[in-house]
Structures are given as C-alpha cells and as structure tokens.
Amino acid sequence: MASAASAASVADRPPDGDEAVRELRARVDKRLEDRWHEEGVDASPNSEDAEFLRRVYLDVLGRIPRVSEARDFLADTRDDLGTDWCASC
C-alpha cells in the first residue's frame, strides 16, 4: 500500500505526453527568463547543431560524440532534433 507522501508526489507530477513536456519546458524557460531579466543577464544565442551536439555529449556523457553519432545527428532534419537526441542520451 502506498503512503500518503508517495501518493501526493505522484499526483503532483505532470501527465505523460508531448503536451505536458512542452508546458513544463515553457514554465521552466519563463522562470529562467524572468530571473535573467531581474539580474540583467542576456541569454546566449542558439548554437549551431555541431556545437550543440558536442556540448550535450560532454555535459551528459562526459565525452565527445563518435564520428558516426555526429554524422547521424547532423544528417537528421527533424525540427525537434535536440529534444529527441537529448532524450536518447
């Protein structure tokens, strides 16, 4: 039997699905933007795909991507490329 604390934490989680992920991402982005504005900080410009891939691999996996991984990533033309690749890491 689940405790009241664990049942409450499950209830607080957003539902699964793409829309829930987009809503959560938007809320996090808004909080960051608000704080940056308060502190007078400007966001960095978006990086090129190859730079993005290298940063993700270094940050998440602690290594640079293999040549085959980089080629696959750079050949992919989906709009949500970064999201999908981050999830697969």
β strands within the chain, DSSP E: none
Q: Which two tokens stand for residue 39?
A: 């502190």
The radius of gyration computed from the CA coordinates of the chain, to the nearest angstrom, equals 17
Residue 26 carries which side chain, given as an amino acid letter? Answer: A
> What value does the mean pLDDT take over residues 9-38?
79
* pLDDT beyond 80 at 1: no
> What value does the mean pLDDT take over residues 12-24?
72
pLDDT in tens, 38-88: 999 988 888 898 998 999 899 989 999 999 999 998 998 877 777 766 666
pLDDT of residue 9: 52
Sketch the domain layout of the chain as residue ranges: 17-43, 49-88
pTM: 0.55
